[in-house]
Amino acid sequence: MTKKLKLLLSLSLLLFAFFVNSNKAYSQCIETLRLARTVYDEGRLHELPGILKSCLKNGFDPEEKTEAYRLLVLSYIYQDQPALADLAMLDLLRANPRFKIDPDTDPNELINLYKTFRTDPIFKWGVKLMGTYSIVNITKAYGVYNVNDSDGAYSGNIAFGGMLFIEKDFLNNRITLRAEPSYTSYKMTYSGTSSPSEEDPLLPSVEWPGDVEGQSWLGLNVSLRYGILKNNSIGRKVKPHIILGPSVQYLLSSSSANQTDVKDGQTESGANIDFLDPVNSNRKRLNLSAIAGLGIILPLGKMSFVTDITYQYGLVNITDRNYSPELSLRYGRAMSDQTLNAINISLGFMFNQYSPKKLSN
């Protein structure tokens, strides 16, 4: 028998022995929990810590450990040992931070003790993927040829981004303060024509068939989220909320692929224009917006599914320079003053961060 085969056989035997011992220990702990229930029902409360000690360290699954700690808490309460009851409740909440009392079936003593502990998450965090649809609002039009007879306009495109978020609940979980650092991209298509004017009929007819501009931004949204439903049975399952707040964004990149068609003339097209280039600086770096929307949180075990739909309303002009050598002289375009609006749809997951403790009186 080769050394490799002997080693493989030895490892297989060790894994088999570990599996057998694990199953044996688990079976023993199932019997231990059954014994603990019987001992508790018979009122032999002082025996429970010794019975449960070994399996609480290693042997119970999460659901069984929750039940075992609950029995310990009740046993200490009924033996009038409040300090030990507090320690057992703290162990229970650390083992299962999502443990909730049942006001219909749990004893009042357990309910009252539970209320003396911090059981809500200290904050929540998560990650979301986002789809964006840009809506450009021209506030003042500029043109190289005849701006009064130009129908140049922007149409929206779909782009994508992502964000992290962290939030904290207030006022019985009805109000939530959320901060969202984000990376967002937008796309927009400029198209239109410019015709000669009566004052200068010699100007050429110009068409822009579709110049696609792509932008990427780093941002921070700070919003208040208001829960529409109270924390009742329906509100625990599906939690719709209203979103309101400001957003600040810093422009990382902005470029456009351009083409200009001149009637009875030459078509001009070329490589992308970098709108942040010092020579062709057409875009400002900073954008401020107001955000409003709706969202839903759906608890899924240890995490929650989160989806939001928001409208982002631009508050400032994002055009830095209306005319530039590349855009104006080569392609016959001027950059109009404009604000950037968008519809954003995000999907993600949220996690609770717990830190249970005894509350001071």
Beta strands in the chain (DSSP E): 117-118, 123-140, 153-156, 158-170, 175-194, 206-227, 239-257, 259-262, 267-269, 273-274, 286-300, 303-314, 337-353, 357-358
Whole-angstrom Cα distance, residue 302 to residue 129? 20
pLDDT at 172: 76
pLDDT at 279: 86
Whole-angstrom Cα distance, residue 164 to residue 184? 12
**Tokens 């080769």 found at:** 2
Half-sphere exposure of 40 (CA within 13 A, CB side): 22
pLDDT at 125: 97
Query: Which residue, 315, 191, 306, is CA-closest to 245?
Result: 315
pLDDT at 361: 65
Which fold is adopted by the domain 20-119?
1.25.40
Cβ proximity of 335 and 147 under 8 Å: no
pLDDT at 159: 96
pLDDT at 207: 79
Query: Which residue, 109, 105, 77, 73, is CA-closest to 89?
Result: 73
At residue 12, φ and ψ (nearest 5 deg) are -65, -40
The structural domains of the chain, with segments of one domain joined by +, span 20-119, 123-353
Average pLDDT for the chain: 86
Level-2 CATH architecture, domain 123-353 = Beta Barrel (2.40)
Crossing angle between the packed helical segments 48-57 and 3-41, to the nearest 10 degrees: 150
pLDDT tens across the length of the chain (361 residues): 566 555 555 555 555 444 444 444 446 888 888 999 999 999 999 999 999 988 998 888 889 999 999 999 999 999 999 999 999 999 999 999 999 998 888 999 999 999 999 999 999 999 999 999 999 999 988 888 766 656 788 999 999 999 999 999 988 778 999 999 999 999 999 988 777 665 655 566 777 788 899 999 999 999 999 988 765 544 457 889 999 999 999 999 999 887 777 666 666 666 688 999 988 889 999 999 999 999 999 988 889 999 999 999 999 999 999 988 888 888 888 899 999 999 999 999 999 999 999 998 6
pTM: 0.80
| Per-residue burial over 281-299, b = 16 or more CB atoms within 10 Å of its CB, e = otherwise | ebbbeebebebebebebee
